Amino acid sequence: MTTDHRRARRAGIAAFVGTTIEWYDFYVYATAAALVFGPLFFPSDDPLAETAAAFATFAVAFLVRPIGGILFGHIGDKLGRRVSLVITLLLMGASTVLVGCLPTYENVGIAAPILLIVLRAVQGLAVGGEWGGAVLMSVEHAPAKSKTFYGGFTQLGNPAGALLASGIFAIMARGGDDFIRDGGWRIPFILSIVLIGVGLWVRWRVEESPVFTEKVEGRQQSTPLAFALKVNWLPILLGIGLLPISTGGYYLATTFATAYATGDSVGFSESFILDAMTVASFIEFLVTLPIAWLGDKWGRKTIMYIGLITSVLTFAPFLLLMPGRIEPLVFLLASLVRIAMSATYAPIAAILAGMFRPQARYTSIALSYGVGAALWAGFSPWFATQLVGWTGSVWAVVGMFVGMAAIAAVCTRFAPQHSDEAPVTASLTPRTDTTTNELA
């Protein structure tokens, strides 16, 4: 193994560990929002209203993600990727542990949901800066012909975090639904403190991105955000349009599907659907890196198109067949949906990183991902829940999913891909960049 690959592997593993912890914290909240936060923090006579309110707090984190992207993108473009990533990990860990210590509405009234919303906002700030930095650390360390594969290490953190989150809730569900509601839900949040210590140790041992030290350091823009909006405004918009299925579709297939499956219209037990999601997360974890490897062989955009088509073909039957309560089929379709979505998620790190030149790249990619996540993922579980309430059918959610996939396909077609081999100057414009066609 060459020195470049050893360095890329070390950076990839650090990105994987860090994003696993970040996504674990994020998905613990998402799972708790689907299962218990409604009655505990937003009590109502209408269970659907409780769930919708819980999903609204879930959306808060996505709304502040762009702010986190701007804040930590600025730090990452000025001081380095590693400094920014250490801060985001600490913020996420502290806010997650504090959620596990919160009193409920029964104990302190309206103060409980307010505190929950504040801590959820802090989580959003942290994730808004985390993902872009982790992507750049893995992709910028990678050799030119292996960027999609090593970028996949960052993406591997998503199913790993989901696996840990749904797995621990699945274990607790063995104690019965009352165990989770009566305080068991706090355990996954408090356990985050152990993971944060591990993540900080791993992350601080990785050297700074070579692209930052060789091409950015000493030539930083005084205001990376202004530079990004002036030079990268079109790729930023295309980057936002790339993400409907990779972000929003993912939460429809996990958070919304969990709430729908355990609701009155379907009636699966919490333990069953958590088991299905845990198995699906494990399978997604297994296929993410092989799919990223294929992105370097077949083209990252080709893999994206395959993922968008297969996501539609698996998500529709996953929801539509749930009321039939055929448990093996639900298990199978839950896993197939996640495999399909892996093909929209595994290559996205390399695609987005390749859309921007090194100057203000952290700010640009974080802004794209933050706004995209806020737009597509932040409200997708809430809006899907409302659609079911308005129409009385999940067909409307399927239609919403198809429309999101179409937008992602169009933006993928027009997304530029640039090489770090070209020299960096202060007068960059999108038209003067060199495009690497072989990976388009």
What are the residue boundaries of the structural domains of the chain, listed by start? 3-439
Q: Cα separations (Å) of 210 from 56, 255, 258, 432?
A: 40, 37, 42, 23
Phi then psi for 80, rounded to 5 degrees? 120, 155
Nearest residue to 295 (alpha-carbon basis) of 246, 344, 365, 339: 344
Q: Which amino acid is at 221?
A: Q
CB distance 307 to 245 below 8 Å: yes
The one-digit pLDDT tens for each residue of the chain (440 residues) are 566 777 888 888 888 888 888 788 878 887 888 788 888 888 877 777 777 777 777 678 878 888 988 898 888 888 888 888 889 888 888 998 999 999 988 898 889 888 988 998 998 888 888 888 888 888 888 888 889 999 899 888 888 888 888 788 888 888 876 888 888 889 999 988 888 888 788 777 777 777 777 655 555 556 788 888 888 999 999 999 999 999 999 889 988 998 889 888 888 888 888 889 889 989 999 999 999 999 999 999 999 999 999 999 999 999 999 988 899 999 999 999 999 999 999 999 899 989 988 778 888 998 898 888 888 987 888 889 889 889 988 999 999 999 999 999 999 999 998 776 555 444 444 443 333 433 33
Determine the topology of domain 3-439 in CATH: Growth Hormone; Chain: A; (1.20.1250)
Token couple for 5: 């690959």
CA 287 – CA 229 distance, rounded (Å): 36
Q: Which amino acid is at 181?
A: R
Token couple for 248: 């929003």
Instruction: Supply angle C-alpha 432, 438, 440, rounded to 5.
Output: 70
Nearest residue to 99 (alpha-carbon basis) of 18, 27, 173: 27
pTM over 0.75: yes
CA 171 – CA 312 distance, rounded (Å): 31
Q: Cα separations (Å) of 192 from 29, 188, 308?
A: 12, 7, 33
Q: Which amino acid is at 150?
A: Y
Token couple for 426: 């202060």
